[in-house]
Chains A and B, each alone.
Chain A
Amino acid sequence: MRRRRARRQLAWDAVGVAVFAVMVFPVFWMVTTAFKSNDEIVSLTPSWLPLHPTLQHFRDAMHRPYFWTDVKNSLVVVLASVSISIVLAFLAAVALARYRFGGRKAVVVLIIGIQMLPQAGLVIPLYVVLARYHESNALTGLVITYLTFVLPFCVWTLRGFLIGIPRELEEAAMVDGSTRLGVFLKILLPLMAPGLVATSVFAFITTWNEYIFARILLNDQSKQTITVWLSYFLGSSRHTDYGALMAASTLTAIPVVVFFLLVQRRIAFGLTAGAVRG
């Protein structure tokens, strides 16, 4: 009886490891390919690990035209839209988490509803409007469009973090004679620091990964973001340089993966937090 149970447990564990292997395989394949020599890559019998590891593909990818320019563009766009969003969103989040006021529900519906809009649905008017103001093909135009989805996301997530901070703390400080501003600076802000960091990082990731707006609004190669750069990597060449492609993919993914691993725990349940606690 006990032995049968042990054997069953072993079977479950084996299935678990197998699922892990299947899920992680694409990431594994990307990284190992990036280090393989070209002979190994084009070989019809693939080797699991690079036999002669090389950094050549990474060098190739980084020396491709516009790699560094487009990394810089991505950083500029991401930092601008995230910092604008986080400041404005924090104020709105305080209003939503700490006050009851007429029209509050409408604001909540709007904040949640906007996040559900498919981005493709907004591409046409955004392009036309920005073209009219000569802001298409400019990073400022992209920052503006990114606000459409980063702002609501930040408001909603920060609101979630604020609700987690007991109101009693602020009230106690008020009773002790602090002003509202004092409470905000001395109590709310320090307590919110982890939430602010997590939300900014998550907003950073979504913006860094964004593709369709950047693809449509930026035409110049020197003005593209890194995701668009990567999507054009293959171009129309017949002989695909898979090694360099995987090296470029790895480079694009690294900042996101690192940041994501840092904040995943804090933000993981943001979308469904209420439902889980239900």
Chain B
Amino acid sequence: MSDGSQTAAAAGTLLATSRRRRPSLARAARAGVPYALIAPVAAVIGAVLGYPVYWLVRLSTEQYGLFELIQHKGIPVGLRNFRSVLHDQVFWHTLLRTVVFTAVNVALTMVLGMAIALLLARVRTPVRVLLSSGLVLVWSMPVVVAVQVWYWMTNFENGVLNYALTKLHVGNYMQHDWYASTTSQLAMVTSLIVWGALPFVVITLYAGLAQVPGDLLEAAEVDGARSWMIFRDITLPILRPIILILTSLSIIWDFGVFTQPYLLIGQSRIGPANYLMSVYLFEEGYFKSDFGRGAAISILMLAIVAVLSVVYVRRMVRIGEATA
């Protein structure tokens, strides 16, 4: 479909150019049009992003605390901030924890997301409408709001989670404190993140499932293929590009996640034992007012995310080029 309109458009442009030859001055002016259209955005982004990025690099090579902030002058220290961060055990532990955390979150999101998308294709229409509207409702919940709801549901005194687990005879969870150990804290954060991420993943995958030709599935069924074989050999290969994009997006988002861990674990319990990358950066750089060192951590983190983004950005650019 996109091919057809593209060739038509190309033919249109060819016709247009051959029909009216413009004087060269007008042509030059016309060549400038896209640049003029881009200019405002480029200027604003250059100012609001370019300038801070320049400062980020500069800060990372300076000793810059509250005193320097007031003085408006940092003390150049070369690469000392980077050396300090890279020799910090906490940095490496945080990095490892964040990688594991990201892997668990992305895996859970993708597997559950795929399961619910397949379920959505199986149920009858009323249930499908019900489930998908529920998903859209969840999707629309602001993160800070969701954190407060989690906090209330999982509190140890009268949270509904402890009540439900006890009633369902999973064990005696009355007064169980979910925020007592690091693993449990991060598990709560994971449940919150996966819950919030599922709607987008499910709805996108479900849209992808519509691409799978129905007659192909029927033919396979007639041939006696088992349903998991059909899934593995037909559905999965067709969904591959979507899965790739969703997975890389989830990796990037979960690696840099801040609001959920910071607010759910809570300022009083945040510490080196449960740092994730963004929280570590916030605590070390902003909270301790060590902006130079914070800038060094930021640069390291941005570099990691840049590497993680390569797959996604390349794919999107290719798609963008193809559809323009």
Contacts and interface: CB of A to CB of B under 8 A. Distances in A.
Interface residues of A, number: 106
Interface string A28-59: 01100100000001111110000000000000
Given A116-B252, A208-B142, A107 B128 contact: no
A209 B312 CA distance: 24
Interface in B106-159: 116, 119-120, 122-124, 127-128, 130-131, 134-153, 155, 158
B92 interface: no
A38 to B, nearest CB: 11
Contacts of A132: 69, 72
Given A124-B298, A274-B319, A107 B263 contact: no
A117 interface: yes
Contacts of A23: 131, 134-135, 138, 195, 198-199
Contact of A17 (B8, B130, B155): B130
A168 B10 CA distance: 10
Contacts of A245: 148, 152
B144 A252 contact: yes
B52 A129 contact: yes
A195 interface: no
B281 interface: yes
Interface stretch (B31-39, B178-186, B214-222): B31-39
B258 to A, nearest CB: 5
Given A30-B149, A121-B256, A277 B321 contact: no
Contacts, number: 312
Contacts of A151: 41, 44-45
A107 B320 CA distance: 11
Contact of B12 (A19, A155, A171, A261): A171
Given A17-B127, A242-B152, A163 B313 contact: no
A88 interface: yes
A227 interface: yes
B282 interface: yes
Contact of A125 (B59, B148, B259): B59
Contact of A124 (B34, B252, B285): B285
A108 B37 contact: no
A159 to B, nearest CB: 8
Interface in A149-185: 151-152, 155, 159, 163, 166-168, 171, 174
A127 interface: yes
A147 interface: yes
B145 A45 contact: no
B139 A121 contact: no
Contacts of B285: 123-124
Contact of A16 (B59, B119, B145, B252): B119
Interface residues of B, number: 111
B245 interface: yes
A269 B22 CA distance: 41
By CB atoms of chain A within 10 A, which of B49, B127, B151, B295 has the most?
A: B49
A1 interface: no
A198 to B, nearest CB: 14
A99 B33 contact: yes
Contact of B52 (A113, A122, A216, A275): A122
Interface stretch (B83-91, B200-208, B229-237): B200-208
Interface in B233-265: 241-242, 244-246, 249, 252, 255-256, 258-259, 263
Given A129-B55, A230-B144, A167 B152 contact: no
Q: Which 4 A-B pairs have the closest CB atoms?
A: A118-B256, A274-B319, A260-B140, A120-B278
Interface of B: 1-2, 5, 8-9, 12, 16, 31, 33-35, 37-38, 40-42, 44-45, 48-49, 51-53, 55-56, 59, 64, 69, 72, 116, 119-120, 122-124, 127-128, 130-131, 134-153, 155, 158, 160, 163, 174, 195, 198-200, 203-204, 207-208, 211, 241-242, 244-246, 249, 252, 255-256, 258-259, 263, 277-278, 281-282, 285-286, 291, 294-295, 298, 301-302, 305-306, 309, 312-313, 315-317, 319-324
27 contacts: A19-B116, A26-B195, A27-B141, A29-B153, A98-B34, A104-B34, A105-B321, A108-B321, A112-B312, A116-B309, A118-B301, A118-B302, A123-B282, A124-B56, A124-B291, A125-B52, A125-B298, A151-B41, A155-B41, A171-B16, A209-B142, A212-B278, A257-B137, A269-B207, A271-B249, A275-B245, A277-B323
Given A12-B119, A120-B258, 5 more contacts: A107-B38, A171-B16, A252-B144, A274-B316, A275-B244
